[in-house]
Structure 1
Amino acid sequence: MSKVWIGLFRGINVGGNNKLPMKDLTRLMLAAGLSDVKTYIASGNVVFRSDLGDAVLEALIGDLVETNFGFRPSVFLITLSHLEKVLAENPFRDHEHKGKAQHVFFFKAPPSKIDRDLLDSLKDDSEAYEISDELMYLYAPEGIGRSKMVEKIGRAVKADMTARNLNTVETLRDMAADLEG
């Protein structure tokens, strides 16, 4: 039986760069044999079914985008059970501000460097974070756009990563759960 996957694309449709229309992505993924493909907002979120393994899927999806759009994004594939674990372990789930104030940074592989001193020096007094080898949770009630930590996170955390706010993570979980039935 095929498995339900959540795919997160890094750095697409941001500032007019790496344009990837979701309708075209859906069509290409269906033509490549993936099923029940559904996208969510233009920032590169897709839920689908496949019996292929994660490494094969990452290569396939990367090839589809590169061949048809001229760039190769990082593709992060996550299972429903992993996404449910991420939500259950969110250290900020009981905070007053949810949704857009809470973010999850997913790492493709464990970071080669985590500079906690730099993260702490960039962190606003209202912000909080927890980081592991798999991901980072960020609580930013003043907004991610105002966060100095987010602006310079690439200096403090050396990893291929992509971030989603809590609203998006919960929506993707719900979409994947609906597919899994």
Structure 2
Amino acid sequence: MLTTYVGFLRGLNVGGKNKVNMLDLRTAIETFGYQKITTVGNTGIIIFNTEQLIKDEELANQLTEVIGIRIQLVLMQLNELEKLVARLPDWWNQRDDWRHNAIFFLEEYNASRLQPIVDHLDRTIEQAILIENTLFWSSAFKERKLYYRSQYAKLLKNDAYPYMTIRNANTLNKVIKKAKEINN
């Protein structure tokens, strides 16, 4: 039975570093025998079908070998991603003046370590929820002074940062839509 996977690659094409052409990424993945391979823009997201059961580390090692850049990723089956998103609270991705992000953590990081931060947010400027090992975070963004007061703005300095890959709500919605299309 074919399973649709979504891979969120960490640290590619960010700030001019670790540049990888998405066509090269798709070509590399084709060599592994996966099917219906697609990417989402230049975002470092891959979607594909396979009959194999694949682990994050396995695909990361395969890609690292072929591409020549150390690859880190969070790999999820489409049905896992859909279940995760189905559990989102009403406040996520609702306010146009806030930024809404899904923060996926590499397998080796237990995101529950961030729960104390999530529990003590100023809810007037941000909200967050940890679901499994994914953190969904919304924060004031239009008013920059509020954003810089938020805990979200401080994530870049948190010890969790090297283990996370972040996608905004619009990108996540595109990913799910594309994954559903190739799943049919």
TM class by shorter chain equals 0.7 to 0.9
Moved over 3 A (4+): 117-121, 145-148, 156-159
| Mapping of residues 72-87 of structure 1, within 5 Å | 72-87=70-85
Q: Using the alignment, how far apart are the partners of 2:93 and 2:18 within structure 1? A: 36
After superposition, give the CA deviation of every residue in 1:51-100 in whole Å (9 maximum; x if it has no partner): 22122x642x32343234332221111111222122222222473338x8
RMSD of equivalent CA atoms:
2.9
Q: Using the alignment, how far apart are the partners of 1:133 and 1:73 within structure 2? A: 23
Report the CA distance shift for 1:112/1:72 in structure 2 as closer, same or farther (over 3 A): farther
| Mapping of residues 11-160 of structure 1, within 5 Å | 11-55=11-55, 58-59=57-58, 61-91=59-89, 92-93=91-92, 95-97=94-96, 101-109=99-107, 110-111=110-111, 113-114=113-114, 116-117=116-117, 120=120, 125-142=124-141, 146-147=147-148, 148-153=150-155, 155=158, 157=160, 160=163
Q: Using the alignment, how far apart are the partners of 2:117 and 2:3 within structure 1? A: 40
Report the CA distance shift for 1:68/1:140 in structure 2 as closer, same or farther (over 3 A): same
Q: How far is 1:160 from its partner? A: 2.1
Tell me the TM-score normalised to structure 1 length.
0.81
5+ residue gaps, structure 2, are: none
Q: Using the alignment, how far apart are the partners of 2:133 and 2:117 within structure 1? A: 19
Is 1:4 aligned to 2:4, yes or no?
Answer: yes
Give identity over the alignment, percent.
22
5+ residue gaps, structure 1, are: none
Give the structure 1 partner of residue 180 of structure 2: 177
Q: Secondary structure at the match of 2:167?
A: strand
Tell me the TM-score normalised to structure 2 length.
0.80
